[in-house]
Each structure stands twice: as structure tokens, then as C-alpha cells.
Amino acid sequence: MESEPGKKGSFRVVLIENDPERISLLNNDFGALVDIITEPEYTQALDYLEMGNPVDLIICKDSAGYSDFLKSLRKKVYFHSIPVILFKEHEETDPKAVQGQVIDVFSLPYPLEALQIRLNYLIQKKQYSEAARTPYKPTRIRSPFGKRAFDIVVSATALLMLSPILAVVAVLVKLDSKGPVFYRSKRVGMGYRIFDMYKFRTMRTDADKMLANMASLNMYNVAPSVPVSDLCEECQLAGTECRQVLFLDNEKICEKLYHQKQKAKATFSKFKEDPRVTKLGKFLRNSSIDELPQLFNILLGDMSFVGNRPLPPYEAEKLTSTGYARRFAAPAGLTGLWQVTKRGKSKVSDLERIQLDVLYAKKYSFKTDLIIMIKTVKAVFQKENV
């Protein structure tokens, strides 16, 4: 067994080779980069490994016995993490033999540059894993102390005073239609934190299944997205085939047309005269009684009385760009700037709503919260079916 003297933290390679010329060549090419421990036979290499010597990589060739050697590595759990590079001398290599930890197969004579790139990658990977790195822990965004104190005191008081009403509504929901009393859904709030938001159930139990067929009723739709042609307007005018081809899910489509369709899709979903809503649900929604269980979310700290509406994850994931993501710097709210300025208006765009959310995140204060809460009282009992 031959070994190059190594330094602490060096990368140790076991080379299974009995050709002096190839051993010398590898040492000349990579001796300065890694510590090379040479074993002439597979059995000796296995003995070296079983003695507990630290090994970062094994290099061997597809000579007699290599298949059994690789099988032996697979049988022992503590050898599973050692990657193997195989030098190919023969035309055909047994595919079953190279399954598992063989990460590369190089034909001999080995390509110097490709092998060097692979070794550099493995060395850097080891250095990264051994480095004393403190994992990044994002700081949780918190509401201002005064705002949070107000939320706790008022929500606890409101829950105590409204408990008889909550009990009556719970019974009515149960009698009105089949299904649970409360509706619980995942929402994304302040700092992209996901939580369970609670409401009184106002929809049929099969509401989610009906959603796919209701895209045309969405109030936020820019325009019906009915493709007239498979080509964009530019390609149609030029009278040519698509000049900006995009392959998506193995389908060939025009890139410009694809982006036009994506822009036409609404970020938010809201429906006028929603057919999924129950008879009692319409009253609960118009009076905002359905949202009273969110007082528990406020008490728990998931939400605040005033803020930006918490979004379902599929809507929140569309708002991760720098300008849009600013809305998540504000607390999730029971009511907010958008609700008191645009609630019930059919002509409202995605951008208009997002801009109002971002504006609140930049400007919110105790004074603005009080103004919004006063305006909310006026807006609560307006007649709307959204």
C-alpha cells in the first residue's frame, strides 16, 4: 500500500490499481490535489475500508472482481456514503454492477479535465459540509407591541361578549346544511407565515370541486382567455411559424402567447352570486358574521384586527417579487384598507388590490387602524353577494 502524506482535512482517495504506470500518472495529475491511497487488489481495499480508515472516494476499474467489490460496498451501511468513480476498460459494463454509489464512469485513458472537475466538486462538497456554518434563521416579523396588546385585549373581550351569538350561529350552520360548523383553511400571513384560519362554514361541502368550472365568473379576470390561434399576433402577421418556441410539458407552444395567457390569469379569486354559498351563508357573509371565529386567530397572534387579508398559499406564491412581497410585511388582518375602499365593487383589478395592500404595509399606524375600523363598521352591512 502506497500513500501520499496528507494534511488535516485533506481529501482521501482509495485507488484500486496494480498498473505502476497508471498509478504514477494519477499521482502526477492529482497528487497535489488529493491524498491517494493505492491498493492493488479489491480484497485489500475492502480490508482497508473495514479497518475504519477515513475514505472520501474510491476509484477502480471494471477488471475481474469489481462487480463483487461493489456488491460488498452496498451490503455494508457504513460504506454507502462513499462515492465510486469507475474507469472503463471494456466495451460493455454490467449495468447492475454500477447501480448504487458509482457517480461517474470514465473510459480509459481518463479525460483529465473532466476528472479534475469532478474531484474539485467532491472536495468542495466535503469542505462545505465540514465547515462550521450557522444555518440561516430568518427573523420572525412581529406586530408592534401596542397593536398586539390592543388585539389581545379586544379579541378576548369580544369573544367573551359574543359567545352566545357564536353558539347560536354554530347551531344554525349545522341545521342549514350538511358538513362541519367551522371552515378551516391554510393561509399565508405576515412574513409568509402559514397558519390555519377559521370561519363559520358558508359553502357546500363540495365547494372545492366546483371551483375548477367557475373561472369565467371570477371578478378579477382580465378577459376571457380563449386562444384564437396557436401563434402570437406577431407571427401571424409575418405569416411564419413560431419564432419563439417554448417546450412545456413536452408540448410545443409560442412563448409570447404563453406569457399573454399567464398575464390574463387572475391572482385572486372572488365570485359574484357564488353558487357554492348556502342560503344561511349569504346572510353570514353579507353581515361578516362568518368571520367572527377569526377572533380566535387574532387572540393567538395569527392575525390582527386590521391588516392585509391572509391569502391561500396558491395566491401568495404569485406575490413573491420585490414590489408585491411588501404586502406581507404587514400583519394579516380581519379587515383592512382594501376592504373599506373597494369592497363590493365589481371593477377591481389584481394590481389595484395589491397596491392598496402594499400602501397599508408602508403606512400602517394605530391612527390608520382606528380609521379603518370605523369605516369597516359602515361597510359591514352593505348588500353584496361576493
Tens digits of per-residue pLDDT, 261-297? Answer: 655 554 545 555 666 788 888 899 888 899 999 999 9
The answer to whether the CB of 156 falls within 8 A of the CB of 300 is: no
What whole-number distance in Å separates Cα of residue 372 and Cα of residue 364? Answer: 10
Q: Residue 271 has which C-alpha cell?
A: 365570485
For position 50, what pLDDT does the model report?
A: 86
Distance of CA 185 to the CA centre of its chain: 18
- pLDDT of 117 higher than 70: yes
**101 close to 84: Cβ distance less than 8 angstroms:** yes
Mean pLDDT over the full length of the chain? 78
Q: Which residues contact 36 (CB under 8 A, 6 or more apart)?
A: 2, 3, 4, 13, 15, 26, 27, 30
Report the pLDDT value the prediction gives residue 51, as an integer from 0 to 100: 86
How does 27-61 read in b/e, with b if 16+ C-beta sit within 10 Å?
Answer: beebeeebbbbbbbebeebbebbeeeeebbbbbbb
Alpha helices of 197-252 — where are they, by DSSP H? 207-211, 233-238
Compare 43 and 238 and report the one with higher pLDDT: 43
Domains of the chain: 2-130 (3.40.50.2300), 145-214+270-380 (no CATH), 223-265 (no CATH)
Q: Would the pTM count as exceeding 0.85?
A: no
Q: Which of 8 and 383 is assigned the larger pLDDT?
A: 383
- Residue 276's pLDDT is 74
Give the model's pLDDT for residue 8.
40
3 state SS of 148: helix
| 102 sits in which H/E element | strand 102-107
What's residue 126's pLDDT?
86
pLDDT of residue 217: 54
Rounded Cα distance between 341 and 305, Å, is 16
CA atoms within 13 A on the CB side of 276: 19
Does 4 have pLDDT greater than 50?
no
More reliable by pLDDT, 182 or 76: 182
Backbone angles phi, psi at 323, to 5 degrees: -70, -45
What mean pLDDT do residues 98-108 have? 78
Is residue 304 helix, strand or coil? strand
d(CA 206, CA 88): 59
pLDDT of residue 2: 44
Looking at residue 375, its pLDDT comes to 86
DSSP for 7-50, written as a single string: -TTPPEEEEE---HHHHHHHHHHHTTTSEEEEESSHHHHHHHHH
| Percentage with pLDDT > 70 across the chain | 70
Sign of CA dihedral 112, 117, 120, 121: negative
309-356, pLDDT tens digit by residue? 898 887 888 777 667 788 898 999 999 888 787 655 555 667 788 888
Average pLDDT for 58-69? 85
Burial state string for 339-351 with b = 16 or more CB within 10 A and e = fewer than 16 = bbebbeeeebbbe
Mean pLDDT of 216-232: 52
Which tops the pLDDT comparison, 3 or 361? 361
